[in-house]
Amino acid sequence: MLAYTYEARGRFVLTEKPKPVVRDPRDAVVRVTLSSICTSDLHIKHGSVPRAVPGITVGHEMVGVVETVGDAVSTVRPGDRVAVNVETFCGDCFFCRHGWVNNCTDPQGGWALGCRIDGGQAEYVRVPYADQGLTRIPDTVTDRQALFVGDILATGFWAVRISEIGPEDTVLILGAGPTGLCTLQCVLLRQPKQVVVCEVDPIRLKFVREHYPSALVTTPDKVFDLTRKLGAHGGADRVLEVAGTPETFRLAWQCARPNAIITVVALYDGPQVLPLPEMYGKNLTFKTGGVDGSDCREILELIAAGKLDTTALITHTFALPDIAAAYDLFENRRDGVIKVAVSCGGREQ
């Protein structure tokens, strides 16, 4: 089968690999219909993810059809359309039982697919712990509607959940890339008093204006003054940092009111600094880390009910043999690209 492979730092190559097979009774093999490219894939390419294993197939955003299952798999069966979770988790350890699946203690737990084991920018993928890692897609939901459920939409949903957003809150979202836009949709579900989106890219700002007119948009040079003006208590009540730059990390705590919650879900290329002497007295709460992707079923129900729809984010589609061109487009942010769908050979539904 064709698989896009991480050969070495700075080098991804489309190669032929054997079709995966069930290795453990809890495994499933999925025929991938659609995959996508994530900024995290670019971090692997550029060496910013030390745990990434050379030789693995990249890709952790995908949907497909179950091909085979192990004897211990009970929640899906061959022929089911499924969304694949970015996280691999056992469901039984201390962290899984509390819903903190990103910190599953199993050796394969956490972000494994497309990082430490073969992922889904391929025709087939093996999914460990399939009962936890696969969620059946409702018949009324298309593959494109479900494509981001297991990763960036799950990230936005989780970030909003831990941010404790209320109806009187002014919410600031830093970054209107794909994860930021998914986060925005999930914030709007909570119906806060007002939502501000800060982004430097004029194309992305235009996208927000066109698709989410209830949100206010601004740029990094103006966001501090705007949040001071809008927030009833000297800044934003909740800040979600989804951009991942030193400037947006700084803006996150500067734009927050005292006693605000700041949720950081961005992945940075290097360490960030908290200037505690300057922050002293603001009594801020920081929440940060990788997504606990345990909400996929609820997200799919919201999509089926028409309350979430991320299909507008898919601006370009490529076939798997042309995936190098898709990466080039996505990495260089040409032609108004937001997200790229990669057709991996299976029949899309």
pLDDT at res. 290? 84
| Dist CA 148 CA 266 (whole Å) | 17
CA 314 to each of CA 28, 35, 248, 309: distance values in angstroms, whole numbers, following the listed order:
27, 11, 25, 11
| Whether the predicted pLDDT of 267 surpasses 90 | no
pLDDT per residue as tens digits for the range 71-120: 999 999 999 999 999 999 999 999 999 999 999 999 989 899 999 999 99
Q: What percentage of the chain exceeds 70 in pLDDT?
A: 99
pLDDT at res. 48? 81
Give me the mean pLDDT over the 216-241 stretch. Answer: 96
pLDDT at res. 348? 67
Per DSSP, which regions of the chain are E strands?
Answer: 2-8, 11-16, 28-36, 61-69, 81-84, 87-88, 110-111, 124-127, 134-136, 170-174, 194-198, 216-218, 236-241, 256-264, 285-288, 314-319, 339-343
Amino acid identity, position 131: D
**Looking at the whole model, is its pTM more than 0.85?**
yes
pLDDT at res. 326? 97
Give me the mean pLDDT over the 36-42 stretch. Answer: 92
pLDDT at res. 302? 98
Pick from 248, 230, 247, 225: nearest CA to 173:
248
Domains of the chain, first to last = 2-151+292-343 (3.90.180.10), 156-288 (3.40.50.720)
Q: Are strands 170-174 and 134-136 parallel, antiparallel or unpaired?
A: unpaired
| Whether the predicted pLDDT of 136 surpasses 90 | yes
- Residue 169 structure tokens: 């809150």
pLDDT per residue as tens digits for the range 160-179: 999 999 999 999 999 999 99
Residue 346 banded pLDDT, cuts 50, 70, 90: low
